[in-house]
Structure 1
Amino acid sequence: MKEDEIKNSCEGNCGCGDEGHNHDHDHSCDCGCDSCGSEEAMVVDLEDENGNVVSCQVVDGFAFNDNEYALVQNPENDSVYLFKVIGEGENGELVIPDDEEFEAATKYYENAMNQNS
C-alpha cells in the first residue's frame, strides 16, 4: 500500500453513516439511511503531480483520536486517498497526515471495515 493511498478499502461502506451494510449504489439500496442516492456526492478538487486539477469524490469519513479523516477517490484510476480534515463544514481543509498518523489511522479504518464485513 502506498503511503498516501488506500486501495479499495471503502468498498463495503457507502459513507452514509449507517455502518455494517453492503450495497451497490447502481440500484436502490433500501438501507434505510435516507442518504443513499438522495444527496449529491461531496466532491473536492485536488491537484496532481503535474499541476492538473482532478475532481475527486469523498467516499467515506471517520473519526479517530479526536480527529476527522476523509477518504477521497480519484475517478481517473480509482485510487483512494486518506486525508485529515482540519476545520468544519465547507471551510474544512484536507491535509496529508504525517507518516505515523497515516499508519495509525489506516490501521484503525481497516480494522473497523473488517469488523463490519
Structure 2
Amino acid sequence: MEYDPHYPTILPEFIALSLVFVLNILIPVSAIFAARRLKRRRWLPHTIAFLWVFFSPLTLAILTTPTMAADEVGGPGGGFTLLPILGETPIVLVFYAIVLLSLRAKRQNPAPSHLPS
C-alpha cells in the first residue's frame, strides 16, 4: 500500500485502515462503559456504536477513495482495501451482541447470596 500523490485521498490507505480497525473495537467497548454510567437512555451509546461499526466500511471507502477525473475508471484492485473491514464488521457486531445479551442476563438474574443453612 503505497501512497500515490497523483491520486490524493483524505487519509493514506494504511492509516485509514488501521484507524477504522481500532475504532471498530474501541467504540463498542467504550459504549458499554458509557452506558453503565448513564441513568437514562442507556441505549444511546449502544446505538451509536452499532451504527459506527455497521457503516465503517462506507467510512473507510470515503476516506481512501482517490480523487479521479470523471472519465477515469478505477483499477482492478481498487476495492481490496475494504475486504478486511467487511470481514471484521460482522464479527464485531455478533460479538458485541453476545456481550450485551450476557450483560443483560447477569443484570436480570442476580447470583443468589450464600446464606448458611
TM-score range, shorter chain: under 0.3
With normalisation by structure 2, the TM-score equals: 0.28
With normalisation by structure 1, the TM-score equals: 0.28
Task: Point out the structure with the larger strand share.
Answer: 1
